[in-house]
Amino acid sequence: MRTLILSDIHSNLTALEAVLEQAQGKYDRVICLGDIVGYGPDPNEVIQRVRGLEPVATVRGNHDKACCGITNAEDFNTVARAAASWTRQQLTPENLAYLRQLDVGPAPVDDFQIVHGSIRDEDEYVFTPREAGENLELAKVGLTFCGHTHFQGGFARREGGRLEVLRVRMEPGVAWAALELNPASRYLINPGSIGQPRDGDPRAGFGFYESEKRTVEYWRVPYDIEATQQRMRAAQLPEPLIHRLSHGR
Ligand code: ZN
């Protein structure tokens, strides 16, 4: 069974379409780790596209919550808040209702689980081995997929408790890298962000999980960044959000 893992799409339809084209024929089912909307110019189109994929599990992100009014975005910075309020005005009643009913997570799927931020808190950013270790200690399953930081990679907790940072650094021409999972380790795996990468690689990030081989694949795919930026300008979304897509920061 091959599972396509989508995360942090952030209303970027051009990036999502590039991912789906690259992934075509390579998966049996889809999971989605949240932040479907926020920041980007295509909230309704992206929600429709994700819904059409019929993911077996989807958890909500902090931007999904802010854009549908579950939270008031008061802990967001100015540009993120401006984008959230723009998104809220764009969303159709049906898509607002869809965002409001998304799962909190952790959501179990077969032998793994999915969360947006961390295992203990859907809004927690896991950046350090310490944060990862505290969460992996709580894990009831060996494999957890998370999003939220927009950094492709993750963490492994080895037998005995030693934490290892899983770094993915792909050269521009390289599309993917595989990670074989050790049955004695516990993992927190981030497939990267599709719509707003922040790990220095502007290409859209996503992943696959192959359950029989116990392998995770990290992927990067280029997309027409300028096309997304043009739609953001037309929507008068904040300039720093437009600019950062070029750099993946
Ligand atoms: Zn996000």
Q: What is the pLDDT of residues 192-237, one digit of tens each?
A: 999 999 999 999 999 999 999 999 999 999 999 999 999 999 999 9
85: how many CB neighbours lie within 10 A of its CB? 14
Q: What is the pTM of this model?
A: 0.97
Q: What is the DSSP secondary structure assignment for residue 182, as one 8-state letter? A: P
Q: What is the pLDDT of residues 8-38, one digit of tens each?
A: 999 999 999 999 999 999 999 999 999 999 9
Q: Partners of 23 in the beta sheet? A: none
Q: What is the pLDDT of residues 154-175, one digit of tens each?
A: 999 999 899 999 988 888 889 9
Residue 72 lies in a domain: yes
Residue 12 lies in a domain: yes
Residue 67, both tokens: 């854009």
Predicted pLDDT at 246: 98
Indicate whether 74 pLDDT > 90.
no
Residue 147 lies in a domain: yes
Query: Of 117, 197, 118, 189, which Cα lies nearest the Cα of 150?
Result: 197
CA dihedral for 142, 143, 148, 152, sign (positive or negative): positive
Residue 249 lies in a domain: no
Ligand 1 centroid to 62 CA: how many Å?
A: 7
Predicted pLDDT at 181: 97
Ligand 1 centroid to 10 CA: how many Å?
A: 7
Ligand 1 centroid to 160 CA: how many Å?
A: 32
Residue 231 lies in a domain: yes
Residue 80 lies in a domain: yes
Distance of alpha carbon 9 from alpha carbon 15, whole angstroms: 8
Q: Please report, for the domain that includes residue 238, its CATH number.
A: 3.60.21.10
For the chain, the average pLDDT equals 97
Residue 174 lies in a domain: yes
Total domain count for the chain? Answer: 1
Confidence bin at 5 (pLDDT 50/70/90): very high
Tell me the average pLDDT across 85-114: 97
Mean pLDDT lowest among 1-10, 24-33, 66-75: 66-75
φ, ψ for residue 146, nearest 5 deg? -135, 165
Residue 77 lies in a domain: yes
Distance of alpha carbon 229 from alpha carbon 246, whole angstroms: 9
Confidence bin at 44 (pLDDT 50/70/90): very high
Instruction: Give the domain extent around 176.
Output: 2-244
Predicted pLDDT at 35: 98
Ligand 1 centroid to 42 CA: how many Å?
A: 15
Predicted pLDDT at 169: 82
Ligand 1 centroid to 203 CA: how many Å?
A: 15
Predicted pLDDT at 172: 83
Ligand 1 centroid to 186 CA: how many Å?
A: 23
